[in-house]
Amino acid sequence: MNRLKLILLQVAVGLGFLLLWHVLTAYPILAPTRQTQFFFSTPLDVLARVWKEFASGEIWRHLWITLLETILAFTFGAGGGILFGFLFARRELLAAVFDPYIKAANALPRVVLAPIFALWFGLGIWSKVALGFTLVFFIVFFNVYQGVREVSPVVLANAKMLGMNERQLLRHVYWPAALTWMFSSLHTSVGFALVGAVVGEYLGSSAGLGYKIHEAESVFDVTGVFAGMVILSIFVILIDMVVTLIERRLLVWRPAPSTNGQG
């Protein structure tokens, strides 16, 4: 009953927002409708545009490009982060020497790298993958580094007393510990991979969701911008659901988060 009520309330908020948007743009309340519709479009127009994009099949190509960039950025970023996280956690000297440079590199707002990457890798997908990589790499790197360093000393001592050699320790103790930390940041890092892809496309490309939004914006097509945003949101929610599924499967051993507040 409570759950039903919650869902109804959630739907009500969404509908209320759409209704408000519709009323304010369909009737000359704040300003003439032509003016409000130019700046804010209307919910029906936006939905119609989203429908058209999918129906015409035009959007699939862009979705595929963005998805591909996201997946590549995540794969390379996570791979590099795991590799270097491991290496630095197991080699104290390396970590100490590189510490200030890693901090400096991480402090840099990654968007400023986009033009450089466009110059180096061209306007195709690789400049976007590179941008996403720089975002994902540091998240995964720091998490894996932390995860390997903070392996419970008791679990480690126990594994050693069981006679495990370095390779077995890596496989049974360090690796799972590092993966836990990586997966706890999975939502964030996948999100950042997507941010890298979309921002990169927005700044210069010929395909992808970021490109679609940029293209609409450059001709003052507000309906197109909003439609692009709606598609992007749906896309992000779907990806997030897939990530949640993967996470549930891989972290099955973890205690469930404390019970929800819905009674």
Partner 1 sequence: MPVSPTAPAVSLLSIAITFGSKVGGYTAVQNIDLKVSPGEFIAIVGPTGCGKSTLLNASAGLLKPSDGKVEIFGAPLHGLNSRAGYLFQQDALMPWKTALQNVAVALEPQGVSRKEAEAKARNWLQRVGLAAFIDRYPHMLSGGQRKRVALAQMLIRDPEILLMDEPFGPLDAQTRQIMGNLLLELWAANRKAVLFVTHDLEEAIALADRVVVMSAGPAASIIGEFPVTLPRPRDIAEVRLEPAFHHIHKEIWASLRTEVQKAYAQGEGASP
According to CB under 8 A, which residues from 216 to 245 bind partner 1?
Answer: none
Phi, psi of 144 (to 5 degrees): -65, -40
Q: Are 143 and 181 in contact (CB under 8 A)?
A: yes
Instruction: Verify binding: residue 155, partner 1, rule CB under 8 A.
Output: yes
Question: Does the protein bind partner 1 through residue 161 (CB under 8 A)?
Answer: yes
User: Which of 149, 160 has the CB closer to partner 1?
Assistant: 160
Q: In 39-53, which positions are buried (b, 16+ CB within 10 angstroms) versus exposed (e)?
A: ebbbbebbeebbeeb
Distance CA(30)–CA(263), nearest Å, equals 43
3-class SS at 256?
coil
What track of x and - describes contact with partner 1 for positions 163 through 202 (by CB under 8 A)? Answer: xxx--x---xx--xx--x----------------------
Q: Is 248 in the site for partner 1 (CB under 8 A)?
A: no
User: Least separation, in Å, of the C-beta of 75 and partner 1?
Assistant: 23
The smaller minimum CB distance to partner 1, of residues 149 and 230, is found at 149
Q: Which of 10, 35, 158, 233 binds partner 1 (CB under 8 A)?
A: 158
CB of 150 to partner 1, least distance (A): 13
Provide the minimum distance between the beta carbon of 153 and partner 1 in the complex, in angstroms, as a whole number.
9
Q: Which residues neighbour 31 within 8 Å (Cβ) at sequence distance 6 or greater?
A: none
Q: Residue 62: exposed, middle, or buried by beta-carbon count in 10 A (0-12, 13-18, 19+)?
A: buried
CB 86, CB 143: distance < 8 Å? no
Q: Which of 83, 123, 159, 170 binds partner 1 (CB under 8 A)?
A: 159
By CB under 8 A, tell whether 157 contacts partner 1: yes
Burial class (CB in 10 A: 0-12, 13-18, 19+), 97: exposed
Q: Is 101 in the site for partner 1 (CB under 8 A)?
A: no
CB-nearer residue toward partner 1: 83 or 164: 164
To the nearest whole angstrom, how small is the minimum distance from the Cβ of residue 162 to partner 1?
5
CA end-to-end distance (rounded Å), the chain? 11
Which residues are near partner 1 by CB under 8 A?
A: 152, 154-155, 157-165, 168, 172-173, 176-177, 180, 252-255
